[in-house]
Amino acid sequence: MNAPESAVLHTPARPMPHVLNTYGRLPLALSHGQGCWVWDTNGKKYLDGLGGIAVNTLGHNHPRLVPALQEQIAKLIHSSNYYEVPLQEQLAARLCELSGLAGAFFCSTGLEANEAALKIARKFGHDKGIHRPEIIVYEGAFHGRSIATLSATANPKVQAGFGPLVEGFVRVPLNDLAAVEEVARSNPNVVAVFLETIQGEGGIHPSRWEYLQGLRALCDRQGWLMMLDEVQCGIGRTGKWFAHQWAGIVPDVMPLAKGLGSGVPIGAVVAGPKAANIFQPGNHGTTFGGNPLAMRAGVETLRIMEEDGVMANAAAVGKRLSDGLKQALEGVPGVVEVRGAGLMIGIELDRPCGVILQRAADAGLMLSVTADRVIRLVPPLILSADEAAQIVAILAPLICTFLSEPVAAA
């Protein structure tokens, strides 16, 4: 008798044989969580320094978020955008109040939010009579994995095998205003500038505040849209509602996602007066975006954050975490830099460090490695000072041990 298909495909290296092989997963599965801690199916406990990749704003099993979502599930999970969804207006109004912008479109992911922003920019150009509009994007950027957002991204590894890429992008270095000014002088088709306020997947590289101020002024002079991708760095992660607010500016278009729903899939594009009326009925849409469950998650997340002082906690505990790491790693050969803002921290090493992912998990800490050499920490924004100290106590020795080992041959 032939073995069943599952027995043939199931191997130790591939424990989920019917799921497409798109992720390099660690060999563990999570069961449940509480606050900033999670447990796997074998009962092992981990301090969550990853927060679902900057998603679980309020941690796990929050005592006020969970009942609110249970109540909403019992009422209505999904309708459709054929009908009014009052919670959309409630969340949009709050986002506009917090950002100083004018309106919001809701979708389900950060990729979709960025895709919508790119469509807004292109239609903005066409409405001005520019038939081949172009958008300035950045070295080190990551905006998603659809064909358009992949084209705006600057990572050859994730682009490889998916050409031809979408045209219409002009790439410049981050924090180099002169490079953007040169494009302004030479390219009349540019209609927008699109960048992450803090590059996430590219290695936690912040835009300098004075650079954002100069870029805002340049966009105003040129009549361009300033579009700031805050999918990862927004929703309180840096200690303000949106990271660009540290620079005292207001963008024209701002994609959001990740932390806005505390784990419930949600995306949003928030637009200012120059961009809020570019989309008209039929120009853009979504099936799942703006459903009542996701909107309730967004409304409750923002409410709890405000009531509990979560942003102030992110700023204070983030500084303690960053300072603790800098102190513990000061003078360690191979540590390039500890950087970031609030609870969005990157530790750059002088060599690829992907093995840290498994070693940290073995030691009871969840984190990620991005851009090959940058250890990324984006924990829940409710992280305590004691938990931040525990992250330092676990992670700093792991880094020191790793850097003391012989460098593997290329």
Among all residues, which ones are annotated catalytic?
142, 229, 258
Find the distance separating the first CA and the last CA of the chain, reported in whole Å.
46
What's the burial of 349, exposed, middle or buried (CB within 10 Å: 0-12/13-18/19+)? buried
Alpha carbon distance 187, 189 (integer Å) = 6
- Contact between 363 and 337 (Cβ < 8 Å): no
Alpha carbon distance 352, 76 (integer Å) = 47
Rounded to whole angstroms, what are the CA distances from 328 to 332, 354, 404? 9, 21, 15
Displacement of CA 253 from its chain's centroid (Å): 16
Sequential DSSP letters for 281-328: TTS---SSTT-HHHHHHHHHHHHHHHHHTHHHHHHHHHHHHHHHHHHH
Alpha carbon distance 193, 137 (integer Å) = 6
Number of H helices, E strands in the chain: 13, 17
